[in-house]
């Protein structure tokens, strides 16, 4: 009997739940049907159960690794480092080649203070603090039928706590495409959790991902069914980081980016990619 890794098992369970129990209705913005469930939450203990990198289909590792380095640098132009690794954010640039809602820019500059820098300073001084909240959502402009943008933040806030000497991250997501978006978002924010833990000299603990609207698009139904049917024996993946990953990421260090990609790729033996999975914009 093959042993699937923990993340693959939990991901399959979520897909089954949505496909079997999700409410199917048309989304007006995309003009596509979705099967959707409200209030879906998933957790994994990174230290004990492994890094949450999907192996039921191939996920481009360099995409989410470079994305997190770009976020930590506070940049908002894909031409500034990110485009050398992935063009995923090119869908969301304005005519000035700027991602208006770039997460890292929101974390580090947009609200007039460096939320990530202050988070690290807070938890270094008081590890028991429960005030480690980072916001991406700008209530003055995002959502509620406000200013039109190509994108508004999906993961819109996260909280970091140190409990039991380990760093835990709770990510709150307003909307997640469970076939394309969710696996990349989980891997990316779990990597951020590991980077923050290293910076603060503690181990990463539990990653929690809470979604207000967890959905599968109708053009992904077959892909979801394929992943539900797959089984794959895979050893747990360990996100061992290079030294000083946080500081080097702030400076868009290509060497640290490439090293993180290599560490994960050497452990990664996924099943084949599923062709034809297109983003619904």
Helices (H), ranges, 86-242: 103-105, 115-125, 181-200, 221-229
User: How far is residue 230's CA from residue 233's CA, in Å, rounded to a whole number?
Assistant: 10
Give the pLDDT confidence of 192-208 residue by residue, as tens digits: 999 999 999 999 999 99
Whether 194 is catalytic is no
| Sequence spans of domains, the chain | 6-21+33-267
Q: What is the mean pLDDT of residues 69-87?
A: 97
Q: What is the mean pLDDT of residues 153-176?
A: 98
Q: What is the mean pLDDT of residues 147-167?
A: 90
> b/e for 106-145, b at 16 or more Cβ within 10 A?
bbbebeeeebbeebbeebeeebeeeebebbbbbeeebeee
Burial grade of 200 (CB within 10 A; 0-12, 13-18, 19 or more): middle
Give the pLDDT confidence of 120-144 residue by residue, as tens digits: 999 999 999 999 999 999 999 899 9
pLDDT of residue 147: 62
Q: How far is CA 135 from CA 40, 98, 224, in A?
A: 20, 20, 31
Q: What is the mean pLDDT of residues 94-114?
A: 96
Burial grade of 103 (CB within 10 A; 0-12, 13-18, 19 or more): buried
pLDDT band at residue 1 using 50, 70 and 90 as cut-offs: very low
Please tell me which residue in 154, 180, 211, 261 is annotated as part of the active site.
154
Per-residue H/E/C for 49-91 = HCCCCCCCCCCCHHHHHHHHHHHHHCCCCCCCCHHHCCCHHHH
Fold that domain 6-21+33-267 belongs to in CATH: Thymidylate Synthase; Chain A (3.30.572)
């Amino acid at each position: 009997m093959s042993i699937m890794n923990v993340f693959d098992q939990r991901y399959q369970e979520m897909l089954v739940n949505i496909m079997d129990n999700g409410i199917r209705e048309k989304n007006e913005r995309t003009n596509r049907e979705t099967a959707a469930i409200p209030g879906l939450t998933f957790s994994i203990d990174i230290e004990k159960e492994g890094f949450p990198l999907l192996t039921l289909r191939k996920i481009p590792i360099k995409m989410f690794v470079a994305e997190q380095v770009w976020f930590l640098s506070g940049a908002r132009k894909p031409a500034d480092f990110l485009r050398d690794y992935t063009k995923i954010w090119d869908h969301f640039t304005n005519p000035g080649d700027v991602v208006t809602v770039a997460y890292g820019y929101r974390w580090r500059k947009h609200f007039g203070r460096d939320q990530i820098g202050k988070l690290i300073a807070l938890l270094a001084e008081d590890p028991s603090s429960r005030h480690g909240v980072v916001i991406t959502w700008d209530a003055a402009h995002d959502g509620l039928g406000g200013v039109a943008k190509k994108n508004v933040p999906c993961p819109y806030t996260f909280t970091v706590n140190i409990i039991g000497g380990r760093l835990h991250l709770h990510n709150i997501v307003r909307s997640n495409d469970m076939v394309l978006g969710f696996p990349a978002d989980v891997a990316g924010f779990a990597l951020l959790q590991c980077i923050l833990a290293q910076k603060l000299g503690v181990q990463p603990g539990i990653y929690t991902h809470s979604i207000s609207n967890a959905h599968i698009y109708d053009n992904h139904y077959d892909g979801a069914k394929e992943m539900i049917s797959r089984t794959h024996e895979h050893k747990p993946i360990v996100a061992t980081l290079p030294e000083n990953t946080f500081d080097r990421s702030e400076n868009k260090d290509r060497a640290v980016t490439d090293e993180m990609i290599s560490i994960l790729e050497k452990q990664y033996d996924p099943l084949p990619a599923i062709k034809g999975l297109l983003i619904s914009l």
